[in-house]
Structure 1
Amino acid sequence: MGSRLVSSIVKDKYGKKSATKDLHGDEELSYAHLHWYVNVLKASNVGSHCVLDCGEDGSRFQRIFICFKAYIDSFRWCRPMLFIDGTFVTNKYKGTLLGATAKNGNKEVFPFAFAIVSGETVDNWRWFLQRISEVLVDEGRQLTFISDRHGAIIDAVRTVFPASPHGFCLYHLKENLKKKYPHAVGSSFKDHILWLFCKLLYAPTVEEYQDTLKKLRDDGGSKIIDKFLADLPVQNFANAFFPGKRYGEVSNALSESFNSWVKDVRRLPIYEMIDTLKGIEIDMQVVNTVK
């Protein structure tokens, strides 16, 4: 019975693999189409910024960046702010999908650029932001970034956009603060501490920030709060110290929205994934238009 079960599992596995190949094409061969795709994109969509990195000898895929001409032009009418994040690629060869999303004047989602890389490393995030800097070289506006506190993102923003303010996502900060307290601590107490932390973040003046900080330390325990804030620069989260404009945006929800849109796309072979992402970006803008 055991051997029949193993045989059945193997058949199901290869049957699924065969069906996927018939439906979406060969994943390995998909990489061979990328050179052609990039050339066609540049010829047919003049002004799009597309960079394919296949290593020094050009024989092995490393990463690809795409920002379509329409999004480059349209970003001029969006707020000078980018929400950046990464999500796992779940096809055979894995990797990470990096995305940069914006908002227009009506607070509607505006996908801007994406890249497929090996992972969320410092080198890949620097490479991604460097490509964005090439796109926005003539932008002439101070760009603000919103992200979680991923170390590679912090390094990349500081390195590639040293003059750009970088806000940390409130949702991630609250989750991190919540974990500083033992599971035995009641939810009502944690909610109170998180409420005070939000008040700290939104404080419009230094004086109000200091008053709220005292209350937070008194109620939440100075040892826990001080340790939490020790590696959290005030200029990256608190309104009273933020050096630029973030237009009331304190969370990275736009990137999460983009990640949910690409949930099923991430499993496709890379060529079809890229082509489908183009359609998704158009669909997202259509949805925004008819809201």
Structure 2
Amino acid sequence: MIAHVLLKHIEETPRMPIKTCISMVHSKYGKIISKRKGFLGRRRAFEMIFGTWESSFRALPGYIAALKHANPGTVVQWRLLEGRIFDFVFWAFKPSIDGFAHCRNVISIDGTHVYDRYDIKLLIAVGMDANGSIFPLAFAIAANETWGMFLTHLKTHVIKGRQGICVLSDRHKGILHNMCTLEGWQPPHAYHRYSLKHLKANFQTKFGNGTVNKLMWGVAMQHQQRKWATKMELLREVSEEAYVWLMKLEVEKWTLYANGGRR
């Protein structure tokens, strides 16, 4: 009953606040429901519109098949446990594979958790075109920690024989380990850089979002060594601790001036 009250509103606003759900039921029936009933009613309405987790997994093979049909040449790689339990799927669109040949020698990889009934992850790799714009390359949905499979398929189907690729990431242990052990990848110290996004986040956590944080970003974005050195001295005057923290990192892995032209 609660779900039917919320149905049309959930379709427009899937993340509707529980307080709003309770208010709508009160307006309809003059009764105040608990937060738990509001939560369960919202979830039921969501499932009535968008389906359940189980129905989504059942629909995934058909969805991927439709992607391949609409995009000829798209690469898809599955892994099923015991032949029927979903574990991993990788896909890269044909235009992305072809377009990477015209992108810079830089790939950014990252992953995010999908929190709910199942702890699955969405993995993604993007490049950068000549105009400095993000260029999507490959995607994966993984039920387990499978950076090894993702990097293997990325190398096989997207990078192929191209050499000297610079990889940006948050230096997750799974990424570092697989880049050291998988065939076709070099140890991270060779050309693996810190993602400035993650570096900035870690720096901000340690030193706060103030003047020091702005100075760090200005240092990292310098294209000339002379200007970089000047900015670093200014940072040192403001915070010796922040200066020491940054200098412990390999300069060529977090500054634009020293990255070998891969900026």
Confirm or deny: 8 A CA contact 1:197 1:216 kept in the other structure. no
Q: How many Å separate the matches in 1 of 2:39 and 2:232?
A: 56
Give the CA deviation at 1:9. Answer: 4.6
Identity %: 27
What does residue 192 of structure 2 align with? 166
Counterpart secondary structure, 1:195: helix
**Structure 1's 10 and 172: CA in aligned 2 closer, same or farther, altered over 3 A?**
closer
**Structure 1's 214 and 137: CA in aligned 2 closer, same or farther, altered over 3 A?**
closer
Confirm or deny: 8 A CA contact 1:193 1:216 kept in the other structure. no
- Tell which structure's C-alpha radius of gyration is larger: 2
Q: Which whole-Å deviations, capped at 9, do the CAs of 1:211-269 have from their partners, x for residues lacking one?
A: 76566445422x55334543x23332134543x4323xxxxxxxxxxxxxxxxxxxxxx
Give the CA deviation at 1:28. Answer: 0.6
Give the CA deviation at 1:67. Answer: 0.8
Aligned residues: 229
Confirm or deny: 8 A CA contact 1:82 1:143 kept in the other structure. yes
TM-score (norm 2): 0.68
What does residue 191 of structure 1 align with? 211
Q: Which whole-Å deviations, capped at 9, do the CAs of 1:8-34 have from their partners, x for residues lacking one?
A: 555444433332222122321322333
Give the CA deviation at 1:132. Answer: 0.6
What does residue 48 of structure 1 align with? 74
Give the CA deviation at 1:180. Answer: 3.5
Q: 1:226 aligns with which of 236, 240, 244?
A: 244
Q: State how 1:250-261 maps to structure 2 within 5 Å.
A: none
**Structure 1 or 2: larger strand share?**
2
Q: How many Å separate the matches in 2 of 1:139 and 1:240?
A: 27
**Structure 1's 101 and 17: CA in aligned 2 closer, same or farther, altered over 3 A?**
same
Give the CA deviation at 1:73. Answer: 1.4
What does residue 97 of structure 2 align with? 72
Q: State whether structure 2 residue 127 is matched by structure 1 residue 129.
A: no
What does residue 262 of structure 1 align with? none
Q: Which whole-Å deviations, capped at 9, do the CAs of 1:260-288 have from their partners, x for residues lacking one?
A: xxxxxxxxxxxxxxxxxxxxxxxxxxxxx
Amino acid at match of 1:245: G
Q: 1:104 aligns with which of 122, 129, 136?
A: 129
Q: How many Å separate the matches in 2 of 1:89 and 1:37?
A: 19
Unaligned runs of 5+ in 2: 1-30
Q: State whether structure 2 residue 52 is matched by structure 1 residue 26.
A: yes
**Structure 1's 148 and 138: CA in aligned 2 closer, same or farther, altered over 3 A?**
closer
Confirm or deny: 8 A CA contact 1:101 1:111 kept in the other structure. yes
Give the CA deviation at 1:130. Answer: 1.4
Give the CA deviation at 1:87. Answer: 2.2
Q: How many Å separate the matches in 1 of 2:116 and 2:257?
A: 44
Confirm or deny: 8 A CA contact 1:76 1:139 kept in the other structure. no
**Structure 1's 198 and 126: CA in aligned 2 closer, same or farther, altered over 3 A?**
farther
Q: How many Å separate the matches in 1 of 2:113 and 2:39?
A: 22
Counterpart secondary structure, 2:86: coil
Q: Which whole-Å deviations, capped at 9, do the CAs of 1:25-45 have from their partners, x for residues lacking one?
A: 232132233344445555664
Unaligned runs of 5+ in 1: 248-291
Confirm or deny: 8 A CA contact 2:215 2:231 kept in the other structure. no
